[in-house]
Amino acid sequence: MPGGIVSTGTHARPIPAVAGIGLREQHIAAFFAGGLPAAWVEVHSENYMVPGGPRLAHLERVRRDRPVSCHGVGLSLGSASGVCRAHLARLCALFDRVEPGLVSEHLSWSVVDGAYLPDLLPLAYTEEALDLVRRNIEMVQEAIGRPLLIENPSSVLAFAASEISEPEFLAELARRTGCGILLDVNNVYVSSVNLGFDPHQYIDAIPAEAVGQYHLAGHAKVDIGTEEVIIDDHGSRVSAAVWSLFDYTLAGIGPRPTLIEWDTRLPELGELLDEARLADAALGRAKSMKALGRAKSTKALGRACRLPEVADAD
Amino acid sequence: MLIELQRAMASAALGGDRQPALALLHRDSPAGRLAVYRNTVLGGLADVLAAAYPSVAHTLGCETFQRAGRGFGAISPPAEPQLWNYGEGFAEFLAAQPEERVPPWLPDLARLDRAMHEAYFAADADRLDPGRAADLTRLADLSGVRFALHPSLRVVASDWPIYRLWRTARDGLPMPGVSPSPEAVMVARPRHDVLCRLLTAWEAGFIGILLSAGTLGCAAAHSSIGCAAAHHSIGCAAAHHSIPDTAAAVETELVTLLQLGLIIGFSDAV
């Protein structure tokens, strides 16, 4: 499957390989007043699992004119106890209503013994975990009737038991389940700083043909007493280091739908749109490279990597 | 085993025993990093509560509210990931705190915040259409009518002046010292915006009985908030203490509810 468009049998609008923004309630008035000034939007699925009210009404209005991507934080694909069927049913109901162009979740867990922890907690990358997440993804994909995109987490720590590298783990999930990868370039950078690895090698190990979307966001340094770590707080502009890693990613993997995430310390909508324009500029440069036949993804990687057959909005 | 790792991490993230999680970390991952997950989980839950309980957050101030929210989160983590519904029981948690930390009226103010939060996300419903409303006026005897009310409609009653306290918090002003003085409030979201209206004790009892599917006759016949619950349990036959001009008051109340779009249906079946 080419990167990106994974809808099956719905009226879902495909998500183009350009920049989109995370839709936030605080921006909704400015978003409507500005004539829906983004090519597509992404929402957190769980925020729309509400009985009614303005939030759902706003999304109904947006989806009439813009493609929507549904990004979940609650399926807990890494839970040892399996995926919660009631939550899966809520997700299916939401997808029927919103008809998203892309649906994504995380390589992480949040639920144990009936408690939901509002964080994307890390897995130990073992054969046991690989088999478990594979089964959970297969169960979900069967229920929703379409492939999921799985996002790489940001990490501040690693477990002694891990025996598989994260990109290998993701590649293996994609190979075994047919799921795609949502490559969060900021998360790769954050983890690389905290855990001390080369982010370029990580990107190189991701199978380009499985990548269906990118995320970009800001991160922050936090002092935890004994040392400083960085966390993906999605509360600032994308850093120069992450833009540079994004250029590297585009050269290796190629253009895909790219989301600017901004979840805390929200700026004015205009600043978020500025970030989207920067992402579009980077995507544009990568597309020019492709037109010149110099995209690394076809040459250097030398694999059956089809460049994304996605609708360009520009 | 993955389940053990997840139990160990959950304990650390909810502020419990960190030792089991520490034993699982890679040697290059310093123990202090577990705090990042605890901060995200408990701080995140406190932030969710602050958004759902804005008047309580204003009353306590940022730092004290964070402590209270983290305390609640550690013992009552969410059971489901759709967090709009998180925080049920927070008023009772506040009520159990020592009085020197929490004013005695704060749990009721929390109930009002909760009612407004629930109203915002309540199911949508269409108002009674004009034809159906006309049917209502043609009924010879309205006393047996039961109303279907908008799903967002709620009544919050307190021994404290919660409406005044709520307005003070909404306007961002310092919270006053208050004495007990009963106030009741109607909360609803007929369309996009959540309404919060001060009610008389009679109005609160009237709407309360309609909300609990009592008949109009029963609702009209009660006299106070306390009586509303009693009537419901002992039956409408015991209705008494009609206010002097009950018919006019009932009509005013029904017209208001109709105009606000809060009556969505009715039945006059016995």
Residue A6 has what pLDDT?
A: 36
Quote the mean pLDDT of chain A: 91
Percent pLDDT > 70 in chain B is 91
State whether B79 and A47 contact (CB < 8 Å).
Answer: no
Q: Answer yes or no: is the ipTM higher than 0.85.
A: yes
CA distances from B201 to A273, B208, B257 (A): 51, 10, 16
The answer to whether position A119 is within a domain reads yes
pTM score? 0.89
Q: How far apart are CA B149 and CA B123, in angstroms?
A: 12
The answer to whether position A40 is within a domain reads yes
Task: Give mean pLDDT, residues A36-42.
Answer: 98
Contacts of B211 (CB under 8 A, 6+ apart): B149, B153, B154, B155
Residue B222 has pLDDT above 80, yes or no: no
Encode pLDDT of B59-114 as tens digits: 999 999 999 999 999 999 999 999 999 999 999 999 999 988 899 999 999 999 99
Task: Give mean pLDDT, residues B192-199.
Answer: 96
Residue A304 has what pLDDT?
A: 37
Residues spanned by the domain of A212:
19-305
Residue B234 has pLDDT above 80, yes or no: no
- Tell me if B203 sits within 8 A of B196, measured CB to CB: no
Task: Give mean pLDDT, residues B179-194.
Answer: 96
- Tell me if B79 sits within 8 A of A115, measured CB to CB: yes
The answer to whether position A8 is within a domain reads no
The answer to whether position A10 is within a domain reads no
Length of chain A: 314
The answer to whether position A88 is within a domain reads yes
Q: CB-CB: which of B32, B77, B151 is closest to A117?
A: B77
Output DSSP code: residue B25: B
Q: What is the enclosing helix (H) or strand (E) of A228?
A: strand A228-231
Residue B139 has pLDDT above 50, yes or no: yes
Residue B235 has pLDDT above 80, yes or no: no
Quote the mean pLDDT of chain B: 90
Residue B248 has what pLDDT?
A: 87
Counted domains in chain A: 1
Q: CB-CB: which of A117, A126, A224 is closest to B41?
A: A117
Residue B270 has what pLDDT?
A: 52
**Type of residue numbered B28:** D
Residue A11 has what pLDDT?
A: 67
Interface probe for B, chosen from A73, A107, A156, A157 (most Cβ of B below 10 Å), is A157
Higher pLDDT, A310 or B206: B206
Q: How far apart are CA A281 and CA A274, in angstroms?
A: 11
The answer to whether position A3 is within a domain reads no
For residue A90, the chain B residues in CB contact (below 8 A) are: 82
Residue A292 has what pLDDT?
A: 81
Residue A219 has what pLDDT?
A: 96
Give the pairing of strands A115-121 and A68-71: unpaired
State whether A53 and B3 contact (CB < 8 Å).
Answer: no
Residue B229 has pLDDT above 70, yes or no: no
Encode pLDDT of A265-278 as tens digits: 999 999 999 999 99
Residue B233 has what pLDDT?
A: 39
Q: What is the CATH number of the domain that holds A131?
A: 3.20.20.150
Task: Give mean pLDDT, residues B239-264.
Answer: 80
| Domain assignments of chain B as residue spans, ordered by start | 1-102, 121-270
The distance of B119 to chain A (nearest Cα, Å) reads: 8
Residue B136 has what pLDDT?
A: 85
The distance of A216 to chain B (nearest Cα, Å) reads: 20
B184 forms beta bridges with: B157, B199
Residue A294 has what pLDDT?
A: 55
